[in-house]
Structure 1
Amino acid sequence: MTTKDWGAIYKEMGAKPVVNATGSVTLLGGSTPVPEVKAAMDAADSAYIPLIELEQVAGDHIAEMLGVPAAYVTSGAGSALTLATAAFMAGTDDDKVQQLPDTTGMPNEILIQKRQRYWYDRCLELAGAKLVEIGDENGTSEEDLRNAINEKTAAVHYVVYEQKPTDPNVLTLEQVIEITHAAGKPVSVDAAGQVYPLENFGKYIKMGADFQCIAAKYMGAPHSTGFALGTKEVIDAISRHSFVGYEGRRIRGIGRPQKIDRQEIMGVVAAVKRWLTLNHEDRLSFAESQSQAILKPLQGIPGVRAELNTNIMGHQPFGAIVALDPDIVGFTNDDLVEKLRDGEPSIWARVSLDAPQIELHVFGMGEGEPELVGNAIAALVKG
């Protein structure tokens, strides 16, 4: 890991490369394309192609592989959320497409349960929509949802984290779909990280949702890629709001800045194909062995709790959980994060938002880096 070539391209410009112990986070670059994806992207260089056509055939291939009606490649899952919101509000009316983000005369409210508010729901507002909370901190009832849906409602949004414990105070997706569709409105699902188990990969459309997003970076595609899944009507509307609609149809939609190139589109197709045929037992076994390599030097150190994260669902399997007793070690979890970041090489980790512990992920680690991280932590806590 600590070869002279590691991060050399950054060092030459005076920038400092880091060891990524945080995972597939945008802050650090998100992903490293796998060889199959790089090969597809290189092959895409051989010719130009109208991107309206490429988006259509690529989406058809992805939809067929996943068994859903339609798909569309976007510049990340966040882009898919924004384009879907535009589609829910303006549909395929070219005049309305060009009117956004001015939503005058359109349904422009996206309903979301209060307890489901999250960091990335901001993407839903970028096309001009207004987020409207239903329920309160104590939960949401079916009656709350029924009463909230009106002529201003563009869609009801739902976020899925299957790897986390079910919140009993939140309406289930099944309840949301039933109530929302009965009122004649669409359901949007953020399932950006739900790529494993494979039965979860696209299942929310099969359950009846009208749209869901996925971040392709989790499958070895470029960090800047994702895709939308949905009904043919929603995906058609998304295409009209997208950058190719802007250029190919000369309709000035809000999606123009969210451009994606032909190489990335083909990379996403290759990533999906690989993911569906990959030996996931081997993938998980490797991630577990990397995680155990972090933990090995941390066992038996006073004041240090170091244990395996046993989750295999979603996009970041396994990992290590580390928590310090400051009365014994002499500093806190937050202090450890800073000490790791200030080290050489710099190791980036972060304290969990859900518990007083550091969650280390191996998603972004290369050869020898898990051992380096474990040894660095051990050296710091031993003083």
Structure 2
Amino acid sequence: MIKELGLKKVINASGKMTILGGSTVDKEITSVMEEALSIYVEMDDLQRKSGEYIANILKCEAAYITSSASAGIALTVASLIAKDNLSAIENIFKYSRKNPNKVIIQKGHSVNYGAPIQTMINLGGGEVVEVGYSNECKKEHIETIIDEDTVALLYVKSHHAVQKNMVSLEEMSKIAKRYELPLIIDAAAEEDLRLYPKLGDVVVYSGTKAIEGPTSGLVVGKEKYIKNIRLQNKGIGRAFKIGRENVLAITKALDIYLTKKKNSKIEIKDLEEFLEKVKKIKGITGKISKDSSGREIYRVELDFGIGRCEKIKEKLKDGEIAIYTRDYLCNLGKLEIDPRPLKDGDLDIIYNRIEEIIKEIGE
């Protein structure tokens, strides 16, 4: 159907991005999806047993599979407001207006990752309370705003969030315990799946990022909270339902992720060779940079200059083969090449296209 729809070939040098479909998946995973689509199952039983299986391998109390990480945030917020009250579950927006529904988040964590995180909180009936400033937040900012209407604290562990002068995850965890409030951790793209449940009460992961599974999300944490998230299927969870094929596939993807060593086709030496080659094009400088949020991910950072970066970014996308780079620093004149989704030969295609574009637009 790719040819029938006339879809362009895409080289993904931007990372595991939702706008490009997340990740490609292992053949072991697609075979599980194919098997699942040929049978019927009791969905409640599948969700319960897959959750138990995942909780066991992640060594946490409970787990629940959702349609996406965003859905996981919305369902978590709704469950903290409604708890196990069926009337509240079925009428979450009416109920939340008259009952505690405030979710506290640091202003530097109030991000847009393709959609605003505030929207996901609102979808669950939550009222967003931003604290601190975009360049600074202290624990006092958080503690002085907590009141009887607060249902949770939310921490965003992501490169999208401001990294400096924010309250750390460890400190946020202490505050949550001190005030007996649940801590939600948005760890959508994080790689250490066993670390964050030790620090938070509910942790949300994307199934398509580090795990490299199908379109899905994963919510793990304390059983007393996860059990109420399951009940949201009787409310807004109906709009976020996930098919049997993706439930089984993300369970298989987790197995593969935790037991098999992933070997990237593109190694540091390949990036260094690519960088040296590109730097020979007049007007381009660059370096190898580490992920800003501290993950062990290394990328090529190319500096084209502020005046032409935007034009180069768009021309890379508009070619016969659409090349997507990581463009968060484009306002500073820089594009990043993320090697994780690249295949053999992709770096050569990217180099040739950059060379063509520079010749076309000039230095």
- Asked if these proteins are the same fold (TM beyond 0.5), I'd say yes
Task: Give SS of 1:309's match.
Answer: strand
Indicate whether 1:234 and 2:225 are aligned.
Answer: yes
Q: Which residue of 1 aligns with 2:289?
A: 309
CA contact (8 A) 1:304 1:322 kept: yes
CA change 1:333–1:264 in 2 (3 A) is: same
1:15, distance to aligned residue in structure 2 (A) = 3.6
**Which stretches in structure 1 are left out of the alignment for 5+ residues?**
1-8, 247-252
Counterpart Cα distance in 1 of 2:320 and 2:326: 17
Residue identity in the other structure for 2:111: Y
2:120 corresponds to: 123
Q: 1:70 aligns with which of 47, 58, 62?
A: 62
CA distance in 2, matches of 1:212, 1:356: 35
Match of 2:190 in 1: 194
| C-alpha displacement of 1:215 | 0.7
Aligned to 1:5: none
| Aligned match of 1:104 | 97
Aligned to 1:3: none
Secondary structure at 2:240's aligned position in 1? coil
Structure 2 residue 349 is the aligned partner of structure 1 residue 372: yes
Partner of 1:278: 260
Tell me which amino acid in the other structure corresponds to 2:47: E
In structure 2, what residue type is equivalent to 1:190?
D
Match of 1:264 in 2: 246
Cα displacement (A) at 1:290: 5.5
State the 1:241 CA deviation. Answer: 0.3
Q: How does 1:125-144 map to 2 (within 5 A)?
A: 125-144=122-141
> Of the candidates 38, 51, 64, which is equivalent to residue 59 of structure 1?
51
Q: Which of 327, 331, 334 is the aligned partner of 1:357?
A: 334
Amino acid at match of 1:264: N
Asked if structure 2 preserves the Cα contact closer than 8 Å seen for 1:156 and 1:180, the reply is yes
The aligned counterpart of 1:381 is 358
* Residue-by-residue CA offset, 1:289-323 (whole Å, 9 max, x unaligned): 56446435313222101332344988893332111
8 Å CA contact 1:287–1:318 kept in 2: the answer is no
Measured after TM superposition, the shift of residue 146 of structure 1 is 1.7
For residue 345 of structure 1, the aligned residue among 314, 321, 324 is 321
Aligned to 2:277: 297
- Alignment-derived partner of residue 249 in structure 1: none
- Write out per-residue CA displacement over residues 207-238 of structure 1, whole angstroms, 9 at most, x where no aligned residue: 2x11111111122211x211001100111011
2:355 counterpart SS class: helix
Q: CA deviation at 1:48?
A: 1.2
Change (3 A) 1:346 1:104: closer
Judge conservation of contact 1:20–1:28 (CA < 8 Å) in 2: yes
C-alpha deviation, 1:325, in angstroms: 3.4
Distance 1:364 1:138 in 2: 32
- Asked if the contact 2:163–2:293 (Cα under 8 Å) also holds between the matched residues in 1, the reply is no
Equivalent AA in structure 1 for residue 4 of structure 2: E
Name the counterpart of 2:204: 213
Report if the CA contact (8 A) 1:101-1:254 is conserved: no
- Kept after mapping to 1: 8 A contact 2:110/2:161: no
Give the residue type in structure 1 aligned to 2:92. Answer: L
Using the alignment, how far apart are the partners of 1:202 and 1:177 within structure 2?
16
**Deviates further, 66-75 or 26-35:** 26-35
- The alignment partner of 2:11 has SS state of strand
- Which residue in the other structure is 2:175 paired with? 179
Root-mean-square deviation (CA, aligned residues, Å) is: 2.5
Classify the secondary structure of the residue corresponding to 1:286: coil
Partner of 1:6: none
Residues 78 and 123 in structure 1, CA contact (< 8 A), matched pair in contact too: yes
Task: From the superposition, tell whether residues 263 and 23 of structure 1 become closer, same or farther in structure 2 (CA, over 3 Å).
Answer: same
1:15/1:36 CA distance change after superposition, 3 Å: closer
Which moved further from structure 2: 264-273 or 295-304? 295-304
Deviation at 1:172, TM superposition (A): 1.5
Contact 1:194 1:314 (8 Å CA) reproduced: no
Distance 2:159 2:11 in 1: 28
Tell me how far 1:151 sits from its aligned partner: 1.2
TM-score, L = length of structure 1:
0.85
Quick check: 308-317 or 55-64, which moved more?
308-317
Percent identical residues: 27
Using structure 2 for the length normalisation, give the TM-score: 0.89
